[in-house]
Structure 1
């Protein structure tokens, strides 16, 4: 019997009914219900036998894919495909799908939450209070501030919707021309990355990680920003150069940086990384932006649909 391998823990937690749907369609389902990531060697051996894979962050590189003689479909339990060797999939005739839009609201909400947290020093102040230090920082409001949204897809549009409700001035950049009716809907102005860097109080990033976007924000870009600016990256590690974050915060070139991602997750233990993590003005979460109950359920449903369609 053809096997569908499912590695994301979110699918095991929320997808029992959809596992049965795959089984009813004639597939054996091998899912990761351990509550832990699959060890690499286990993932490799299971992948070699699978007809379909619903995958999270596990790497499907060329060397592994070439050993997968039965594999016909891969579905990313999310959006970013940077952990899947797409040219090799194309070469081997493996269909690749993803779950566009299922977690857009969740990621946008975390992005805006980070904006509030950084503007009012919430994380640092909570830590101070827990340490019995009654410190009372004076922050600033989001209303009336300029927000620059780099990447105006589903997540970027949701951030714009929320920012509009707050009363912010919205500037958007995308590699594609944004239709005027879309800009009007969000009361947004399309502009350049350079203009966003120099004029915006908040800058949020919602682009995929590609050769073009790797280190898109680095030392030169930080020097263009206001020293009161707050940068939020809820996209992918590697888009913002972390050593440049460290230098910019150390030199007070920007007010704060918030990130849900890091190039190496979890971050490696190096002196400068330890110092960065200890800074009050750097907020790092453990790649949780998409992890709401609603988003997990949406993604389970979409991943199942895409897999079944790919295997028809």
Structure 2
């Protein structure tokens, strides 16, 4: 029995997981991966594996059909499964497993940290002090502002909880939740996307990326947002049109940006976003607490064992 291991987290700890898989009688296949495998690289392993410990790989209809009839399960490391053609997987009877809700606390606390880094210039102040300076900048705080969260699942609600701890009002946009509710389970008002743009001082993206919401934050939506809006993205890079964000940062329409994800990753060293002092950047790593990662490791493997019956 063979399993393809293409998620970065297990690849970075290959010796450990190689031993775990072999102890179960499984032969792991370890590809060379730069963040994720595109369709062409996925197809290199078609027909060779019984299971797949996947990352953000482009698992398209073509890929799924090519891996059958041998493939029995795709156990995705993490929560997001937007890179997988779920309809085709369902039609073909390929189980797709993930770890929903696993990163609620890890990502939501990181979002707040990034926001403070962007607005209060925490990292820059640290660097300046190390260089012998003693800056006394004055920057906006979060208290009394309105936090608008787009995507109010586990992570979004975690952001809402922490924003309230800073003295913020919380509103949320979640079309799926709004189908049955007027108010979120934690009491946050559910509003339309348009209303959120009009009311939010801070916009935090916590939603999945889909064909429908690609470049959700663009020149038009930023123009309709409040002047001096602050943007935080801990979801997916494709939700933000980076060219539009750069223009809005230059004009002052966007007062600060806190970004863990980007349209191209790793972020190029000459990327224009790196030229702004009011932009805090991170390496698509908001989920990286020891507790959360170990839980997802275990759950991802358990999903695999269950479907391979090993």
Contact 2:36 2:56 in 1 (8 A): no
* 1:305 has 2:294 as partner: no
The TM-score with structure 1 as length reference comes to 0.85
Cα offsets for 1:54-95 (capped at 9, x unmatched):
111233234433332311211110122232233443343321
Partner in structure 2 of residue 57 of structure 1: 56
Mapped to 2, the partners of 1:37 and 1:119 lie a distance apart of 29
Q: What is the SS of the residue equivalent to 1:66?
A: helix
1:264–1:237: structure 2 CA closer, same or farther, 3 Å change rule? same
Counterpart contact for 1:103–1:298, Cα < 8 Å: no
Q: 1:96 maps to which residue?
A: 96
Instruction: Return closer, same or farther for 1:154/1:117 CA change in 2, 3 Å cut-off.
Output: same
8 Å contact kept, 2:4–2:51: yes
Alignment of 1:199-238 (within 5 A): 199-238=199-238
Distance 1:35 1:85, change over 3 A: closer
When the two chains are superposed, the root-mean-square deviation of aligned CA atoms in Å is 3.0
Residue deviations 1:83-138, cap 9 Å, x none? Answer: 22334433433211111111221111110111211221223333444454443211
Report whether the alignment pairs 1:153 with 2:150: no
Q: Secondary structure at the match of 1:161?
A: helix
Tell me the SS of whatever aligns to 1:211: coil
Contact 1:102 1:302 survives alignment (8 Å): no
Contact between 2:183 and 2:189, CA under 8 Å: does it hold in 1? no
Asked if residue 291 in structure 1 is aligned to residue 291 in structure 2, the reply is no
User: What does residue 6 of structure 2 align with?
Assistant: 7
- Distance (Å, rounded) in 2 between the aligned partners of 1:262 and 1:36: 15
1:67 corresponding residue in structure 2: 66
Contact 1:47 1:53 survives alignment (8 Å): no
1:276 partnered with 2:273:
yes
Q: Distance in 2 between matches of 1:29 and 1:145?
A: 50
Q: Would you say the 8 A contact 1:105–1:155 is kept in 2?
A: yes
Within 2, Cα distance between the matches of 1:14 and 1:157? Answer: 31
Measure how far apart 1:38 and its partner are: 8.3
State how far apart, in whole Å, the 2-side matches of 1:123 and 1:28 are: 44
Change over 3 Å in CA distance of 1:89–1:246 after alignment to 2: same
Segments of 5+ residues of structure 2 without an aligned counterpart are: none
Given that residues 14 and 297 in structure 1 are in contact (C-alpha distance below 8 angstroms), is that contact kept between their aligned partners in structure 2? no
TM-score normalised per structure 2: 0.86
Which stretch of structure 1 is more off in the superposition, 92-101 or 229-238? 92-101
Question: What SS does structure 2 have at the residue aligned with 1:149?
Answer: strand
- Secondary structure at the residue paired with 1:214? coil
Unpaired stretches in structure 1, ≥5 consecutive residues: none
Query: Which residue is equivalent to 1:79?
Result: 79
